[in-house]
A and B are shown apart, each in its own frame.
Chain A
Amino acid sequence: MALPDDKELEAIFGDTIDLTTFKQILEMDEPGDNEFSSSIVFGFFDQAEETFASMDTALDAEDLEKLSELGHFLKGSSATLGLVKVRDGCEKIQRYGKQENLDGSPENDVKVCLEQIKKALTAVKSDYEEVETGLRNFYKDDDEEEGV
């Protein structure tokens, strides 16, 4: 697959993806196939869904530490792929899990933290779904174009 130009990518992903970051993964594909980047992206889907499930569990258990850890974990990979909205959502979860406000100031009220995480988790899931759909279409289209 030829490397799609920025306009094309922007049309697909809007502001959900940082193109510079995402493109450097696309650039690692061998010419003519997107096996590598798609394996990364689809691997991320699995990881994200697992992590969201763990977050739900941890939220029920009111386990802030675990939530922070999970937030950090998914933040790392979403940042690597350039999924900026997901990354920011994960950072929120990480912060409140550490009982910190977004600016790093301490937030001592556990209830507030859990409430904020709950909100952030809902938002990040929807951001994730949006970008997931975009990515799935992107890879589907590419397969069709190549006539595989």
Chain B
Amino acid sequence: MAEAARKIWVTRPRASATLVTIGSNDLVDDVRDMILRKYANSLGKTYDSPDLTLRLNTRTGVSRVLGPEEHMATVMEQFFPNGQTVDEAFIIDIPRNTTTPRPSPRAPAPPIPGSGSGSTAYYADDVRPSESGEGYFPPVVGTATSPRLATKHTNGSMPHSMTVISSGHLPPIPSPGGSRPRSHRDRETHTPSPNVHSGGGSGGVGPNSASYHPTRHSHSRTHSSSSEHIVAHPNNSMPRSPGHEIAAAARMGPGTPPSPPQRLVSPHLPTLRTRKSKRGQAQQQDYQQNPPPPALNAKVPPISVLIVEDNPINLKLLEAFVKRLKVRWQTAMNGREAVKKWRSGGFHLVLMDIQLPGMNGLEATREIRRLERINGIGVFSNAPAEATPPEELTEEDRLEGLAKFKSPVIIVALTASSLQSDRHEALAAGCNDFLTKPVNFVWLERKVMEWGCMQALIDYQGWREWKQYSAKAEAMEAANKRAQAFKKQSKKNRTQLSES
């Protein structure tokens, strides 16, 4: 009889063979199980062991399919009495059934956040950006999740989801009912913009170079010096023209829930600035591991930020920080005040402390989302309304100056806790993102930048006006600085001045 355990060679067609250990009493059926364990990724996520067939392939030309009931050791002795060579590896065949598509190397279709379920959609831990620098996009576990879901909706009629537009970061958890044409990604990846770094995993560090964040390591050299630049930031779906994705954003089609329509995972945007444009590739690589201190002359889009924080020390620091980013800001020290300020309109981003006296950050977030919903902010035509019966819009809840509410505000939670459950709660309440306190300024700047860019896409006209204005302001500032430097110089160093 055969020895207690032996190894056999198996291989997938035209692939490298591998050894599988079998016991003396194992049947072909058992071997299939072991093969699935060995090919846990490529086969295991898609196929069950009965789907596989093993084909015998001897040097003498014998080729037949092994039945599941055959005794493996016997087969070995019969066909390979002198031992099996690599070239004689059993071939693993998988069914070629078109109704069981293989996992695409691309991402599965993204869920349309919140679709069908109102405001509470949020993603599991493994798609949350962590704040630990390199782990921003953690290893993607869901790449091969259910291929059925991934391809079922291939011919969906929805033009664009905001998620794709703004982030290019596709949450891997397919949501039932999510639909998105897969083809448009390919259509739009290439664009005339010189600043777009397309192509998979440039930089490709670590586990993050997952296939569907192809541009996450790209760094736009210059920021906002021409219209293409800013739209080039959201990673993947690069629009061809600035106008294009405004329209696209406005076309959030069927499947988009009434509101709050978008729970976005933060788009990852590069933070390199103009100043650093001369840096070489090496530094860029280095940057990925060790983000540099924030470039405080950053040109963050003209967003208006509401800072909600009850501790005056923290508030002061956050204020000083956003001031340097040259964005407009206001503050609120509790949830009620935050909602009140938000109702005055015009905010793009809320940095929301969660634990606040009185109405806490989560309650305030829920209230803001509720008001957005019933006032129809961010809801586009023909969104199916049957999921949640429309709430009565009372006079009390009516927002003044709806024009100032171009899109749902982005709420970034500031949590003292690093507990996942707290984060989930924040996301469930309607926050888009979160930062752990003490806030790392590099991260804060990134968030402001990322979300600001996204909001700038939505309010493109506003952004253009700001561009023109800021270019002028900058020129004036530069002139002022020169004048001041000159004054200082002349004051401190008269002798030197007189020499010149």
Contacts and interface: CB of A to CB of B under 8 A. Distances in A.
A43 interface: yes
Contacts of B293: 24, 27
Contacts of A36: 320
Nearest to A84: B438
Interface in A12-38: 21, 24-25, 27-28, 36
Contact of B314 (A24, A39, A76, A82): A76
B441 to A, nearest CB: 5
B310 A79 contact: no
B314 A80 contact: yes
What bracket does the count of chain A residues touching chain B fall in?
20 to 34
Nearest to A73: B311
A77 interface: yes
B357 interface: yes
A77 B440 contact: no
Nearest to A43: B313
Interface in B295-328: 310-314, 316-317, 320-321, 324
A116 interface: no
Given A43-B312, A76-B437, A80-B314, A28 B320 contact: yes
Nearest to B436: A79
A40 B317 contact: yes
B439 interface: yes
Contacts of B313: 40, 43-44, 47, 76-77, 80-81
B40 interface: no
A92 interface: no
A55 B293 CA distance: 37
Nearest to A48: B313
Contacts of B440: 24
A69 interface: yes
Contacts of B357: 69
A76 B312 contact: no
A47 B312 contact: yes
What bracket does the count of chain B residues touching chain A fall in?
20 to 34
Contact of A76 (B320, B321, B416): B416
Q: A interface, by DSSP: helix, strand, loop or mixed? A: helix
A79 B353 CA distance: 14
A102 B311 CA distance: 23
A14 B181 CA distance: 57
Contacts of B437: 76, 79-80
A100 B75 CA distance: 65
A79 B321 CA distance: 17
Interface string B319-345: 011001000000000000000000000
A85 interface: no
A36 B320 CA distance: 9
A77 B314 contact: yes
Nearest to A21: B438
Given A24-B440, A80-B437, A82-B438, A40 B311 contact: no
A75 interface: yes
A95 to B, nearest CB: 12
Contacts of B120: none
A100 to B, nearest CB: 13
Contacts of B311: 47, 73, 76-77, 80
Interface in A88-105: none
B195 interface: no
B438 A80 contact: yes
27 contacts: A21-B438, A24-B293, A24-B440, A24-B441, A25-B317, A27-B441, A28-B317, A28-B324, A36-B320, A40-B316, A43-B312, A43-B316, A47-B311, A47-B312, A72-B416, A73-B310, A73-B311, A75-B416, A76-B310, A76-B311, A76-B313, A76-B314, A77-B313, A79-B416, A80-B313, A80-B437, A81-B438
Q: Which 3 A-B pairs have the closest CB atoms?
A: A77-B313, A76-B311, A80-B438
Given A80-B317, A81-B313, 12 more contacts: A27-B293, A36-B320, A47-B311, A69-B357, A72-B355, A72-B416, A73-B311, A75-B416, A76-B310, A76-B313, A76-B353, A77-B311
Interface of B: 293, 310-314, 316-317, 320-321, 324, 353, 355, 357, 416, 437-441
Interface of A: 21, 24-25, 27-28, 36, 39-40, 43-44, 47, 69, 72-73, 75-77, 79-82
